[in-house]
Structure 1
């Protein structure tokens, strides 16, 4: 049997239309997202993919349409990563979220065709429907959710064989962070470099520098060996407008063994929906950054002890 090449697939009209149609509507979806017309929520991640699949499902050749869809998705996501429109992590997490609804819409359209429920006029309307969803439902959801930001907190703990005061002074300002990066940091999770405390008092600023940005914190509680609490007053982290950092707290608990239990709590807001899908990824990403800082702190305290 002769091997099929891309040229052979390209000769199929349904394959070509599937690629062009998918890229066209996904491109408009990205434009609407980046101009803040639609939210990173239900319309974009559920309704739009279903309608996109429905619009593709009315095309005649099922297998060719599926192949065209997958090729177009690959082209689109690679472009988003290379151009910097979206990060690698977001893209990896996004694919399993939107592909199932696309195929659900595709199956619905296939059933409509099988039972002859579609007319020529309705097919044309369905093929244009993804853009109508963005134009009509997207702004409506944006208006509904624009002030609805869920507040979340993530806490991580570590036990260190040092007294609380020593741990406190080691974490309040960190010169250089280095070492093995957790998995998500190896993709494109922001990597912290250093944190600088301008003064040791309430009201002072603590600035943490990352690859591609920084977080500016204002000290709200400064109790050596007990508590270091900060409000995030500004942050510049590329590609993450859907997360809003609110507060960072370190608590230091003295244990009877002479050790310290250090707890880091990050409070943030998120605009990503559905929450049941995104929240575990957000938690894992924040905890990986906590652990990265903790391991650096462990080395720093160990170096002091020598």
Structure 2
């Protein structure tokens, strides 16, 4: 039979009131780590066949997961990201209560967000004894007696939003313009701290309820996005892409802030110290950059034409006039046409996008079968959507880098061709697992647009590069293709 003071498993894991002793903290932490390892290891093995070792799981380098889940696995990245959110919440919620149980500041729980440090924190708090309790429990912070001023809640909400706004804009300016760092601290820790700080300020004098606190946290993030847009630091499209990651983290942070506000061990000085610690953490991350991992995105279609008819339209293609999908209309670059200078290995292909041209020296020229190339120059990946005429944030310069590409043609033997296009790229944005979901999907969209255009041209007998017909004919007759 469950005791009357037993909070139940769900409230114990996800709640913010049930005390957490060191033994239950250690046992629950180890059990959840084992469960998370099993989920990640099973997902990685099922997707790639790689055996995910405990050492790789414990590594603070988030890129180790990305190095294994390289390409063609957007669903796996999405599942891994979604699965991490409840574990993050449980870890934060239990660490807040364990710190209070040990007589320490609940602000220690925010160290749980720092990769590598979180494991050391788990061990330390598992060894920290429970602090003595006074005989008579007194609420850490009591609501003031007397009538509440009618506008006090609005004032507290505005102060919370303002605090979060100043914190986020300041750290964004420091990280992107000074350090030129788009990392884990900026995209993962900062939204959580914006929610935590706004939630703390909003509930500092009295507990105003979880729903209202979450609203204040989300409003703070919304104001941050508006400020970055109006200050021409970011464009609307990138803010839209960041929102699915920032919103749940902001909600989580707001609830943590509400809990911190009820603790007698957290004062304004602690919050100020936390604010000053954030740029230090950002600078450390910039000083220790994660290695770049090359990803492959491959897209395949079937063309109702033989390889000999498809090859001249792969080498180069005329104006692409089909309307793009909505996200490309908003500013993401998409292909318009492709032309080639020369023939064979050493020729240079120019694939022209809405933002400029990719310069692609040919590295493999196998008529009717394979065309491969390096990328030695590329335009910006997008035009930012902004109220200003020219907005060019630093992340448009080199943070997404296309490395090489390839087209493969396979004769299906019935007058049709299997045509596939591959792009290999690197991404210097963290958490890479999240941003790769966007880049993989956008590259697939670009591939589908170009491949569908090649298919339409080939199926109606159009020839974009007439000289390429001779190369296919030469291969069919046994002659060496030109340029080899």
What range describes the TM-score normalised by the shorter chain of this pair? 0.7 to 0.9
Q: Does 1:58 align with 2:215?
A: no
CA distance in 1, matches of 2:362, 2:308: 17
Structure 1 residue aligned with 2:452: 295
Counterparts of residues 35-114 of structure 1 (less than 5 Å): 35=177, 37=179, 39-61=181-203, 62=208, 66-78=214-226, 80-81=228-229, 85-114=233-262
Aligned residues of 1:218 and 1:233 also touching (Cα < 8 A): yes
CA distance in 2, matches of 1:157, 1:184: 21
Aligned residues of 1:232 and 1:248 also touching (Cα < 8 A): yes
Aligned residues of 1:15 and 1:67 also touching (Cα < 8 A): no
Structure 2 residue aligned with 1:5: none
From 268, 278, 289, give the equivalent of 2:435.
278
Larger radius of gyration: 2
Structure 2 residue aligned with 1:20: 162
From 276, 295, 301, give the equivalent of 1:158.
301
CA distance in 2, matches of 1:150, 1:31: 26
Which segment is superposed worse, 136-145 or 283-292?
136-145
Structure 2 residue aligned with 1:144: 288
Aligned residues of 2:305 and 2:459 also touching (Cα < 8 A): no
Q: What TM-score, normalized to structure 1? A: 0.84
Relative to structure 1, the CA distance from residue 214 to residue 79 in structure 2 (aligned partners, 3 Å threshold; closer, same or farther) is: farther
Q: Does 1:226 align with 2:383?
A: no
Relative to structure 1, the CA distance from residue 209 to residue 128 in structure 2 (aligned partners, 3 Å threshold; closer, same or farther) is: farther
The Cα offsets for residues 197-246 of structure 1, whole Å up to 9 and x where unpaired, read as: 11112222212222223221111111211111000111121453321110
Relative to structure 1, the CA distance from residue 96 to residue 200 in structure 2 (aligned partners, 3 Å threshold; closer, same or farther) is: same
Shift of residue 192, structure 1, vs aligned partner: 1.3
CA distance in 2, matches of 1:272, 1:280: 12
Q: Which runs of 5+ in 2 are unaligned?
A: 1-149, 383-394, 464-484
Structure number having the greater strand percentage: 1
CA distance in 1, matches of 2:288, 2:460: 53
Shift of residue 154, structure 1, vs aligned partner: 0.6
Q: Which runs of 5+ in 1 are unaligned?
A: 1-7
Q: Does 1:246 align with 2:389?
A: no
Shift of residue 67, structure 1, vs aligned partner: 4.7
Aligned residues of 2:352 and 2:358 also touching (Cα < 8 A): yes
The Cα offsets for residues 235-265 of structure 1, whole Å up to 9 and x where unpaired, read as: 1214533211101100111111121111101
Q: What TM-score, normalized to structure 2? A: 0.55
Give the aligned length: 294
From 165, 173, 185, give the equivalent of 2:328.
185
Shift of residue 9, structure 1, vs aligned partner: 7.6
Q: Superposition RMSD on alpha carbons, in Å?
A: 2.7
Aligned residues of 1:154 and 1:283 also touching (Cα < 8 A): yes
Relative to structure 1, the CA distance from residue 265 to residue 56 in structure 2 (aligned partners, 3 Å threshold; closer, same or farther) is: same
The Cα offsets for residues 32-69 of structure 1, whole Å up to 9 and x where unpaired, read as: 34326263332112222222222222214447765554
Structure 2 residue aligned with 1:199: 342
Which segment is superposed worse, 202-211 or 148-157?
202-211
